[in-house]
Each structure stands twice: as C-alpha cells, then as structure tokens.
Amino acid sequence: MLELRTLKSDDWPIWRELRQAALAEAPYAFGSTLAEWQGAGDREERWRARLEIPGAHNVIAVVDGRPAGMASGVPVEQAEDSVELISMWVSPAARGRGVGDSLIQEIARWAAQRGAKALRLSVMPGNENAVALYERHGFADTGEPGDLLPDGTGRERVMAKDLTNS
C-alpha cells in the first residue's frame, strides 16, 4: 500500500533518514553530498529549517508502512508563478511501484492549487531514469543553463512542466 504524508518540522527525523539514504544511494543525483549532511551538518535545527522553507510542501511516500520516497515543492524566488520540484528520490526497493509518479503528481497538484503556471526542476546530466520519469509526466527541457557542476564545466539540466492545462 502506498500512502503520501505531508511533513512538518517536527517530522525532521523521518526527512533526515530519507535524505541521508538518498544521498548515500544516489550521490550522482544531487547537488548536495552526504558528507555535508553528516557530522557537523547533521543538526536538528538544520533539518527543521529545511522543512520550514517558506511556502514549501514536503512530502514522503510510505510503502507498506515504511518511508520509501521523498519530494519537495518550493517557490521559485525569481518567478512568482513557478514552483520547483526538489529533493526527489525513491528508495531502490520501492522503484517501479508508482512511488515516483505519486510524488510528482502530488507536487504538481499542490503547485497548481497555489496558482503556479509551471513546475520546474533540475536534473543531473546522465540521470536518464529520472529524465524518463519526468518526461512521462510532461516535463520538457527548457534549454536554460542549469547550475554549474563541481567540475566547473557541466551544468544541471533544467526541465519544466506547464500547469496551465492541469
């Protein structure tokens, strides 16, 4: 059984567990590293602050009673009519069971409800499984240069989904 839960800052231990699992399992997929969120970076106030981003919608997927995926929708500062999908991850054990689909649909529903005209995201080059998932949900490459990667040459791929027809 798949259930989606919206998290508040008091749910930070669940978010922490999933985020650290995501960074450990798929380091190639994120701009952050596990090392940044461990040791000195692993503080309750930091995890709470991450869940308290103004206007954000933080969701986890629970499969058969266990946290199995996560995603957040956050307002885009430069574009009032857009929101961004961030921190998307599904545990390997839950892949292929509709978890990613459910998380994307929930963030898109939330974004449309708040009046957003577009849902944007950035994906790392080479993460073709994620690109295929996003394309299945109507995301397309924007052609905009994404954030510069640590290598100083590559850039994240920016994709967006039109929400005006949702």
Give the tens place of pLDDT for each residue, 15-46: 999 999 999 999 989 888 999 999 998 999 99
SS3 59: strand
pLDDT digits (tens, 9 = 90+) for 42-75: 999 999 999 999 999 999 999 999 999 999 999 9
Could you tell me the residue range of the domain that residue 76 belongs to? 2-162
Helix (H, G, I), strand (E, B) or coil at 79: strand
Look up the CATH number of the domain holding residue 134: 3.40.630.30
The model carries a pTM of 0.93
Helix (H, G, I), strand (E, B) or coil at 13: helix
Residues 6+ apart with CB under 8 A from 156: 31, 122, 123, 124, 125, 146, 147, 149
Which of these, 94, 5, 130, 124, lies nearest to 57 by C-alpha position? Answer: 5
Structural domain total, the chain: 1
